[in-house]
Amino acid sequence: MILNISVSKYFKFFTSVFTLPELASAVYRRTKNEDKVYSTLYKLIKTWEPYITIVEPLVPKTYSRSVRRWFNYFVNKLITTTINYNTPSMDTFHAYIISEYKLDILVTWNKRDFKTLGDKLNIQVLTPNEFINCHIKQKLPRLYSELHEKLVKKNIE
């Protein structure tokens, strides 16, 4: 529902490039099929393209010429992110992206691991349902009604 074009007129959506290996891992664990992993990622990226920007780590130009210097810089940023926001492993990658790009809202099913990040950066950490109720239903009631009607119809059919 968040990918609906009506919603993307009002919000800009971003996802971390690190979401892709997490998705690949989930698909592979379920299917044990490498081709399925790549075809699923391809379909998702093509579906997301018009609505969601996939963001990469920001790297200063001084580090971009040397892989070793870039890698050391990046690892140090991840360590600092882990310490600053108390995030576990893969969540640290996402926390790094969120802090570097200064995003306003994090939509996740995993609110618990991002509590410190939300508190320190003063951003909202919401589940998808909370996002819909807080930002769509409250601020765009007509759009919410249209989306809700489409969703209900889709589930009935």
- Estimate to the nearest angstrom the gap between the alpha carbon of 57 and the chain centroid: 13
Say if residue 94's pLDDT is above 90.
Answer: yes
The predicted pLDDT at position 2 comes to 39
Domain count, the chain: 1
In a domain, 32, yes or no: yes
Residue 81 lies in a domain: no
3-state secondary structure at position 116:
helix
Give domain status of residue 23, yes or no: yes
Type and span of the H or E element at 36: helix 34-48
* Residue 137 CA: distances (Å) to CA of 92, 127, 128: 31, 14, 12
Residue 50 lies in a domain: yes
Predicted pLDDT at 157 = 47
- Give the span between the Cα atoms of 42 and 39, in whole angstroms: 5
| pLDDT exceeds cutoff 60 at 156 | no
Residue pointed to by tokens 């939509």: 107
**Residue 51 falls inside a structural domain:** yes
Answer whether residue 40 is part of any domain: yes
> How many CA atoms within 13 Å lie on the side-chain side of 145?
3
pTM of the model as a whole:
0.79
Q: Is residue 78 part of a domain?
A: no
CB 122 within 8 A of CB 107: no
Residue type, 130: E
Do the Cβ atoms of 78 and 96 come closer than 8 Å?
A: yes
Contact 112, 94 (CB under 8 A): no
- Average pLDDT on 50-70 reads 87
Domain housing 49: 13-56
- Is 49 among the domain residues? yes
- pLDDT averaged over the chain? 86
